[in-house]
Amino acid sequence: MENDKILILDDEQIVIEAITKHLSRRNYEIYSGKDGKEGLVLYHEVNPILIILDLRMPVMDGVEFLRKINLSPADSCSVIVLTGHGSDEEMERCFELGISAFLRKPFNIYELLGIVSHSIALKKVELDLKAELIQRAQMEDELQRYRNHLEELVEKRTVELQNTNDMLQKEIVERTNAEKHATRSLRDKEVLLREIHHRVKNNLQIVSSLLDLQTKYIKDPSTLDMFKDSQNRLKTMALLHEKLYQSDNMAEIDFAKYLTNLLDHLYRSYCIDTSCILMSTDIDKATIGLDTAVPCGLIVNELVSNSLKHAFKGQQGGRLSVSLHKLDDGQFKLTVSDTGVGLSDGIDLKNSKTLGLRLVNALVIEQLEGTLEFDTNNGTSFWIVFRELKYNTRGTKDDR
Ligand X SMILES: Nc1ncnc2c1ncn2[C@@H]1O[C@H](COP(=O)(O)OP(=O)(O)O)[C@@H](O)[C@H]1O
CB 326 within 8 A of CB 353: no
Q: Residue 91 or 226: which CB sits closer to ligand X? A: 226
Beta carbon of residue 179, minimum distance to ligand X (angstroms, whole number): 53
**Binder of ligand X out of 15, 356, 370, 386 (CB under 6 A):** 356
Q: Residue 127 or 226: which CB sits closer to Mg ion? A: 226
CB 298 within 8 A of CB 229: no
Name the residue with the smallest CB distance to ligand X.
356
Q: Residue 208 or 306: which CB sits closer to Mg ion? A: 306
Segment interacting with ligand X, rule: CB under 6 A, options 59-67, 165-173, 304-312, 386-394: 304-312
Rounded Cα distance, 46 and 62, in Å? 18
Binds 333, which of ligand X, Mg ion, none (CB < 5 to 8 A, cut-off by type)?
none
* Residue 315 found at the interface with ligand X (CB under 6 A): no
Segment interacting with ligand X, rule: CB under 6 A, options 13-21, 98-106, 253-261, 348-356: 348-356
Rounded Cα distance, 99 and 78, in Å? 6
Contacts with Mg ion by CB under 5 A lie at 306, 356
CB 274 within 8 A of CB 325: no
**Binder of ligand X out of 100, 208, 292, 306 (CB under 6 A):** 306
Question: Length of the chain, please?
Answer: 400
Binds 4, which of Mg ion, ligand X, none (CB < 5 to 8 A, cut-off by type)?
none
User: Shortest CA distance to 52 belongs to which of 37, 41, 39?
Assistant: 39
* Residue 232 found at the interface with ligand X (CB under 6 A): no
**Binder of ligand X out of 47, 223, 354, 378 (CB under 6 A):** 354
Residues at the site binding ligand X, with contacts judged by CB under 6 A: 302, 306-307, 309-311, 338, 340-341, 343, 352, 354-357, 380
